[in-house]
Structure 1
């Protein structure tokens, strides 16, 4: 995998990345490896694609999971099978119980494929975007998380779920939660608190920092930009502080 780098860090690098994003996504889509994987998926997806067929085909499953950012689960076929076979109408089923709702979206996508061509294109488009984000992450993990948060938040703003439901999704999505914690100045140790208490703290911090805890408002372009830029700015400060302390420690050691 070829890393995508911008030659700058922090907010300056983020602005450069935004300007080059469309061109780099297109370049990622044209990468022979990505292109072959996407074409194979589209060619082999049909309205009759079963759980067995999907889980049993490594190349199909790689694209399917990759589209939802679930690549690391590819070896856990028994788990993936249970997710896909979940009764989505039953709130107690596995896909509905999991805190990370990417699994639910994954199951929904393959429960009723409908138009195979349209579904195949949507899945491969998402796969290409995720591949782009992974390549950005090879150069700067904070930028990958920022891209993911931006796209997730745009999707949240268009949904009709309750704010409480979507906040629980934020808490269960490690990548998105990392950005919120960073932007809101929260310590990751709060994950040890009861989930309802965590929710209260995130909602309160969002109202204080972003001016609202409603996704219809914090999902606007302006608020998403504020969330992401705060995350990147505070991450850069933390990185610089750590680096300075490390350099100071090395300096002290060298004087002995």
Structure 2
């Protein structure tokens, strides 16, 4: 079990402290013997000749590849991951392109685009280290893990040529990212039961109201990302405090009835 990263504070104050400490903690995570062995093994064994079958058949390599994209829970779904890796990315009907969660598409692109295996393996290894850092933060505070992930994911949208609707659909299909947007917008979980087009309307409308725009060319800048994340953390803290107060009140009532 990796050591949890705790900052000693909660809410927005703790988030600011974590941001100042982030670079040092990422470096420490990269130097962890377990992480070093995992990334070292991956870099040594991923080559241009590595097939999808080879990758899913090597648990150590698969662990790093999936971990780099936050897909750790799919380690046992080898047949599914192999199909993702072997998808024809030029075919819009292929599995990787059809999946709502575009982390699978990113995994397939990284695997198939490794003409320079050394550069590809290094990029995946670095992403794995970042995810391991986020996991350790999450062991101390899950909302911070989600905030870190959202910050990095949304920042990457700025360089994308995809339409805003396409990227919003990606937000809806990516559960960790969706959680942050929904939390910041004050949208409850029941929204997920609505038709997807209606969900899209609600998220885009909320983005206009809260962030001032629903275009990722604007909301993927530093100021908007900071507003998104801090609003998510603030509302999460309010919700946690409310739940705690309700629990305390319930326990008080129960104690009086004894």
* 2:65 equivalent in structure 1: 64
- Counterpart CA distance in 2 for 1:152 and 1:207 is 19
Aligned twin of 1:142: 143
1:209 is aligned to 210
**What's the counterpart of residue 48 of structure 1?**
49
The alpha-carbon deviation at position 112 of structure 1 amounts to: 2.8
Matches within 5 A, 1:99-114: 99-114=100-115
1:180-202 superposed Cα distances (whole Å, 9 cap, x missing partner): 00001111111111100100110
Aligned-CA RMSD value: 0.6
4+ long deviations beyond 6 Å: none
- Distance in 1 of aligned mates of 2:73 and 2:177: 17
1:151-184: per-residue Cα shift (whole Å, max 9, x none)?
0011011111100100000000000000000001
1:120 paired with 2:117, answer: no
Gaps of 5+ in 1: none
TM-score, normalization: structure 2?
Answer: 0.98
Q: Secondary structure at the match of 2:8?
A: coil
Query: After superposition, what is the alpha-carbon deviation per residue over 1:88-112, rounded to whole angstroms, capped at 9, x for unaligned?
Result: 1111111001000000010011113
Q: Secondary structure at the match of 1:88?
A: coil
Q: Mind listing any 5+ residue stretches in structure 2 that lack a counterpart?
A: none
Give the aligned partner of residue 237 of structure 1.
238
Shift of the alpha carbon at 1:138? 0.3
Q: Which residue of 2 aligns with 1:83?
A: 84
- How far 1:33 moved relative to its partner? 0.1
Deviations 1:2-30 (A, max 9, x none): 10001111000000100000000000000
TM-score by length of 1: 0.99
| Secondary structure of the corresponding residue to residue 43 of structure 1 | helix
